[in-house]
Chains A and B, each alone.
Chain A
């Protein structure tokens, strides 16, 4: 027993030399002790006197460093309590297994260890290990090889110091160095007290503080007129664990900003917020310029189109007498295409408004049943032109939803005109109103060509109109995309089913006022 202990120390003393953080004194002392143990049994009396100190030093090493002894095959034959505590595994779970089994997949140290043991008899480096609970712990490690007289590997002794916290701090320092390079302001603050824990360089510059100047300050010190209650209301879903991140726009120091908030656990287990504040003045200016550009262009286009459309309509309507067949047909072509251009301009304006979130909806209670009648009346003339008949089916009773009347008419017009356009002459389009659980549905059935499967996936995308208008008035390819956006702004949904040469059914579903109030 004593000899085993002495032999173990012989290896240990050597290993300890390479563990700087163990402390030089401990190493030297144990080294001397190890040697003295081997000197002679006659000096055992002296050693006896040293036993207490030896045990003390051993305990110090035990407390500080993780240790394992492995056999020639790399299987652990001895592990100390510190390694057991750090890894979370029991002694029984560790013994007989190779330590490499506990390395994280991105730890490439085994190759280096083998080569160093072969060449030099020891290896020092860092290892990244997996705890039983799935966590990671980093160690500074020295492994020493013991060989027999023939140079065959007998065993290795590994000493490890936990450097997880140092690695975490290094990573955080690197992250902070990166954050300092950002043009966005970054604030890290405690979730409970809102005390500032970190500001990046940009945030410090904006606040006019130096690096040490925010120690006792809180988030309230960063913004004039900061309302604690409003902020806590806003982040309540994050603190309740409903969401980990949120982004919102605000005005800070007179400038529009986008604020991204993230909640995370700090190293001390104390929840903290990371806020990234981005100045979006330039983005806003660009959006404003684009919006202005679209509005101006559309106005500038509409004025000449008013003249062209007006002149063509007057001439083709016979206001100046009947036209010959050919000139009439040619002017008809011109008229249809002017109308198409006007549709396109209107659709582009709508899309611009939807994209910019500037389409306003004046919501009122609307009887969908009456609205369907209105849409049918508005489209009957178009149906007549295409020799397509509209027929109302399903519910006829009053059914109210919350909506914007003009926009809902726009959606119905789109669906009805599409259905007529894709129907054969002499065809029929049924418009059905029906109840659904918590919702009201309008279905538009046509018996036309159907939508090719390849086109179905992209039907609501812009400019995605499928072929098959049979040479009739083509659309802008924007109508369904706009209809979908409008329906979704109403909290509803739009979908379709289609079979080639059988027909297509579009279904628009709106929540009924009762389900809306329940959802609220």
Chain B
């Protein structure tokens, strides 16, 4: 039996939320909950109990990095695999995000037809301990 993860997607841009929702749910058949900001994610995450975190980096107010730090402070999300999505594709930036404990960094613009496959592959790798 293949178990698919429940994903918490945090993204401030409503259009990108919409595209990602279709890409992950309609194209990829995954289960997704979405939040429009870091504080909303911190508030709703315990109720959603996601298996995987998909976080935009540049958000007004609380950034993706700060959101991850907030979630990591909750014991139940201390080890939840996290993927950052960023429009800043410089290698230094990507490396910095990996240092923060991201399993992977997906650069924008992403391909909605392959996003779900990408996310699943990262999740499988994380579960396998990679």
Contact = CB atoms under 8 A, between A and B. Distances in A.
A299 B93 CA distance: 13
A298 B58 CA distance: 13
B70 to A, nearest CB: 23
B73 interface: no
Interface in A286-329: 295, 298-299, 302-307, 309-311, 313-314, 317, 319
Contact of B58 (A299, A307, A317): A299
B87 A307 contact: no
Interface in A268-292: none
Interface residues of B, number: 23
A518 interface: no
Contacts of B87: 298-299, 302-303, 306
Contact of B112 (A302, A303, A310, A346): A310
Given A314-B27, A314-B113, A303 B91 contact: no
Interface string B90-114: 1110000000000000001111110
A314 B19 contact: yes
A32 to B, nearest CB: 90
A298 B90 CA distance: 11
B107 to A, nearest CB: 9
Given A299-B58, A306-B19, A319-B22, A314 B91 contact: no
Nearest to A299: B87
A310 B13 contact: no
Interface residues of A, number: 23
Nearest to A346: B89
Contact of A310 (B16, B58, B90, B91): B16
A314 B16 contact: no
B88 A299 contact: yes
A342 interface: yes
B89 A342 contact: no
Contacts of A175: none
Contact of B108 (A306, A353, A360): A306
Interface in B13-34: 13, 15-16, 18-20, 22-23, 26-27
A310 B11 CA distance: 15
Contact of A406 (B26, B91, B113): B91
A443 to B, nearest CB: 28
B90 A306 contact: no
Given A299-B58, A314-B19, A319-B22, A309 B89 contact: no
A339 to B, nearest CB: 9
Given A353-B90, A360-B91, A342 B19 contact: no
B19 A307 contact: yes
A306 B110 contact: yes
A342 B109 contact: yes
A291 to B, nearest CB: 11
B84 to A, nearest CB: 14
B92 A311 contact: no
Instruction: Name the residue in A298, A307, A353 with the highest tally of chain B Cβ atoms < 10 Å from its Cβ.
Output: A307
A405 to B, nearest CB: 11
Contacts of B109: 302, 305-306, 309-310, 342
Interface in B23-78: 23, 26-27, 58
Contact of B15 (A302, A307, A342, A349): A307
B83 to A, nearest CB: 15
Contact of A317 (B16, B91, B113): B113
Contacts of A406: 91
A362 interface: yes
B91 A362 contact: yes
Interface centre among B22, B91, B109 (most CB of A within 10 A): B109
B88 A306 contact: no
9 contacts: A303-B108, A306-B87, A307-B19, A310-B20, A310-B110, A314-B23, A314-B26, A314-B27, A314-B113
